[in-house]
Structure 1
């Protein structure tokens, strides 16, 4: 590798991907596994996986030069209600997607295929220092860069474990709500034995450290979990898990649904984020001198930052119109305000152990790269300004009811809070923040224009 100071980030990535030892190791792996096709994949702002498939015969060329695509793909090629293509317009430049070699894996359901996660860059030919720079709307690259910068400033590493829920249905599966909750019920779980066995097996084959799985409280609602990891790797793992779910659903002729509120009588699908901060291999959230559920000073300030910015972060943590059907339901397990408690599942943030914070706001449609980026920004603000989280829920201190705001109850309300908070928008960067808001504001407008079944039922026979 060269030590030129004028080379771009794209140049540096290409140098990594042309390292002889790394390339030889990768080619040996591809040859041994008899891989014929390679997916080069990226993730859009809404969490969709996009990319190209490359014949393995062109692997060396692909990892050196990358693949290109129109940047509006990162906005799902959506047009707003006025017909404008979001994400740069039709004339927008392509980006270059460069595979991260350490993310290569063979797909266990078809070992002729493998995949890379990619980071995205501006075209090399652009002038004035832009060419070859990181693409600002690359959600995966953004989290990686911001976590690296956070560690450089604080000496801390954010680790996370997510709890992704999904609703499964299909032939011969009774989706009716039983008279007794199916949560953690083994017989309810065994009705989905082929599902959870394949989820765990495929997850392990793709490098996920699967640790447990259970049936949740809604019909057909499963939650398989893997071990916590550095935040950017956990975000990758969430995306991999969703891809596995889609594959298992295809194989078994089932439907998997990540909607936060798939039906009126459902509590809904969440994706709690369990966060901890590490320095030199030690979890610094825990107070080593305290007994019971007690946070260190760093932990309290991190919690204070999360609560301070929870309302603004909700647009990212609950990113769909449907997300807020989950928040406004009369369920004790879904938070309604920014508060915290010790092993209290009614709160926005739960302290189940002394060494982790369970953020309970995120739902199953969350983009994990965006969610971890805004939580990282909130945590750093809490550390920087030494924000006191106040007393836990369940105490007699009256500050608990007024210290932090209620959570938004509609996507429109959440977007207004998001736009007004420079810490949260700053955690994503201006380009991602503006494009995210444009996509979601358009989604809200389309919802407001739609005539729903509820409206037909409520109003069709009214008027005289």
Structure 2
């Protein structure tokens, strides 16, 4: 039976109330039984974008809908121990958190229909006297949902987005050859060579509710498969699910699936461009009805101004790894080198494309979509509130010009410096989540700076005398 909430009901109480609705539970029980689901993953996403969780027999569905599952809070930083021996996220003595499923995220895994999954939102345990039952501050998925809901309530606008997840597939039978200084992009023969991959990925994605729309072959082993844009919260969930699908397909086919941003020197990087638009009901307010030319409304220009103003500070999230910054060093390979915008200009940080979409080209294939969309929401809100002017669009190539906006950070260390100093970014992620992410990535940068690489051996091992 459902319970009556008191005035002091916590966020956890409210979520439990929704999850114990008898009609919703009965419909879900029926779906689980008809699909033959025996086990269910209760999954969450860490600050780095890693999927974590627990598996529970399906006959515990009603119990878990109300109680959720418990995990140690340091999992939100992947149980990472820093170089000085600190366990990030609170240490071994820190309290666990409660992961409560969002019932509308249930899906059956199409590669094994005996298994289902939920996405969960995370809460402080009830017994904590100061913040028991409140949202876990380091839960990136829960934060995005709350931030987006508040943005919509305040502005009447909804952020919709579509991602372009590039990735590299390697293994037997996937070798690709191209002429020197030429690209194999769009070659149908290589797409056909990859047919076992795209058939399985698209098939599994459709079974999990994606509307798949198109895909292509772009560089040796690099395939991009796209699905229909949607509410930003759903797009973020689907990107996480897409990565899980790709990893499963790789296991089945005996090949490797990598989202590494820059697989090799001279190769195209793996990006994850975010195509965003702002909607009031079913109207995209970035575009003016009836116009066929590329044009931004005044509201759209202010939103764009906010994105460009905070682009440098967003880089620690958009390019989240040491390897990410190799992608921005190779000019002419469609990755931005200046913070600017242009009309259908693929050299720019933000490209205005058809139908009033802003293509943000900074995010790469390892981006945490909950963090990236949260920062974009914060930047858009700042642009709207302060009527920020993006300036005139870039004409021609960006690779030999200078921007009026802040310089694009060119390594993770530089990116972390401006990341921590930006109040809009801090407010979008929350101080605790930003602090945990900053600590994790600072340790990653320090480890890299202290590591001797093959490049250093090649350059210096026998260089003197």
| Aligned residue number for residue 387 of structure 1 | 388
| Aligned residue number for residue 244 of structure 1 | 245
Deviation at 1:209, TM superposition (A): 1.1
Deviation at 1:395, TM superposition (A): 7.7
Alignment of 1:125-136 (within 5 A): 125-128=127-130, 130-136=131-137
1:70 aligns to 2:45 (yes or no): no
Residues 311 and 405 of structure 1 are in contact (CA less than 8 Å); yes or no, is this contact kept in structure 2? yes
Q: Cα–Cα, structure 1 residues 263 and 176, in superposed 2: closer, same or farther, change >3 Å? A: farther
| Aligned residue number for residue 199 of structure 2 | 197
Deviation at 1:289, TM superposition (A): 6.5
Q: Distance in 1 between matches of 2:359 and 2:33?
A: 43
1:40 aligns to 2:42 (yes or no): yes
Q: Distance in 2 between matches of 1:34 and 1:122?
A: 33
Instruction: Tell me the SS of whatever aligns to 2:117.
Output: strand
| Aligned residue number for residue 30 of structure 2 | 28
1:154 aligns to 2:152 (yes or no): no
| Aligned residue number for residue 426 of structure 1 | 427
Q: Distance in 2 between matches of 1:171 and 1:243?
A: 21
Alignment of 1:309-348 (within 5 A): 309-348=310-349
| Aligned residue number for residue 306 of structure 2 | 305
Number of matched residues? 459
Deviation at 1:431, TM superposition (A): 0.7
| Aligned residue number for residue 54 of structure 2 | 52
Alignment equivalent of 1:99, drawn from 98, 101, 121? 101
Deviations 1:205-258 (A, max 9, x none): 011111111111x20100000000101110000000000000000000000110
TM-score (norm. length: structure 1): 0.97
Q: Distance in 1 between matches of 2:446 and 2:154?
A: 40
Instruction: Tell me the SS of whatever aligns to 2:52.
Output: strand
Deviation at 1:425, TM superposition (A): 1.6
Instruction: Tell me the SS of whatever aligns to 1:165.
Output: strand
Q: Which runs of 5+ in 2 are unaligned?
A: none
Q: Distance in 2 between matches of 1:79 and 1:308?
A: 34
Q: Distance in 2 between matches of 1:428 and 1:421?
A: 11
Residues 292 and 354 of structure 1 are in contact (CA less than 8 Å); yes or no, is this contact kept in structure 2? no
Q: Distance in 1 between matches of 2:355 and 2:300?
A: 9
1:458 aligns to 2:456 (yes or no): no
Residues 39 and 51 of structure 1 are in contact (CA less than 8 Å); yes or no, is this contact kept in structure 2? yes
Deviation at 1:176, TM superposition (A): 4.6
Residues 307 and 383 of structure 2 are in contact (CA less than 8 Å); yes or no, is this contact kept in structure 1? yes
| Aligned residue number for residue 9 of structure 2 | 7
Q: Quote the RMSD (CA, aligned, Å).
A: 1.3
Deviation at 1:185, TM superposition (A): 1.4
Deviation at 1:330, TM superposition (A): 2.5
Q: Distance in 2 between matches of 1:194 and 1:449?
A: 41
Instruction: Tell me the SS of whatever aligns to 1:96.
Output: strand
Q: Cα–Cα, structure 1 residues 178 and 368, in superposed 2: closer, same or farther, change >3 Å? A: farther
Deviation at 1:3, TM superposition (A): 4.1
Q: Distance in 2 between matches of 1:235 and 1:305?
A: 21
Deviation at 1:59, TM superposition (A): 1.3
Deviations 1:119-168 (A, max 9, x none): 0000011113x110000000000000000011111110000000001000
